[in-house]
Amino acid sequence: MQSYITKQQLINLGIDIDDETIDSLLAHLNETVEERVGADIAASLSYDQLKELIALQETASDEELGNWIASRITDHEQIVQDTIDIVLGELAEGAHNVTT
């Protein structure tokens, strides 16, 4: 899984928790970003493109898959950044609930 959100970003939000908890939180946040980006990408594809993407996911390397997405979703990087910003915003709103 790719790291979209880092420990430093959490520290910048004022989240100060032990390493084990922060690792678990990072895994959850990065999985959330990945799922939401995937849903956004899937929603923007035609039926045939979606079938092609699903087939590629079973056989292609991460690099090949990334190249395929980048060639068809011109605003992919913006989708990723917007999703990261939304997830971090949601976390910041509830940061007072994150404790050790």
> Per-residue pLDDT for 96 more than 80?
no
- Which pLDDT score, from 0 to 100, does residue 98 have? 54
> Per-residue pLDDT for 50 more than 60?
yes
Q: What angle do CA 27, 31, 34 make, to 5 degrees?
A: 140
CB count in 10 Å sphere of residue 46 = 9
Q: Are 95 and 14 contacting, i.e. CB atoms less than 8 angstroms apart?
A: yes
- Which pLDDT score, from 0 to 100, does residue 28 have? 95
3-state secondary structure (DSSP) of residue 79: helix
Q: Where are the domains of the chain?
A: 7-94
Please spell the DSSP secondary structure of 58-97, one letter per residue. Answer: HHS-HHHHHHHHHHH-TTHHHHHHHHHHHHHHHHHHTGGG
> Per-residue pLDDT for 100 more than 50?
no
User: Which percentage of the chain shows pLDDT scores above 70?
Assistant: 93
With cut-offs at 50, 70 and 90, classify the pLDDT of residue 14.
confident
> Per-residue pLDDT for 30 more than 90?
yes
Global pTM? 0.83
CB count in 10 Å sphere of residue 14 = 10
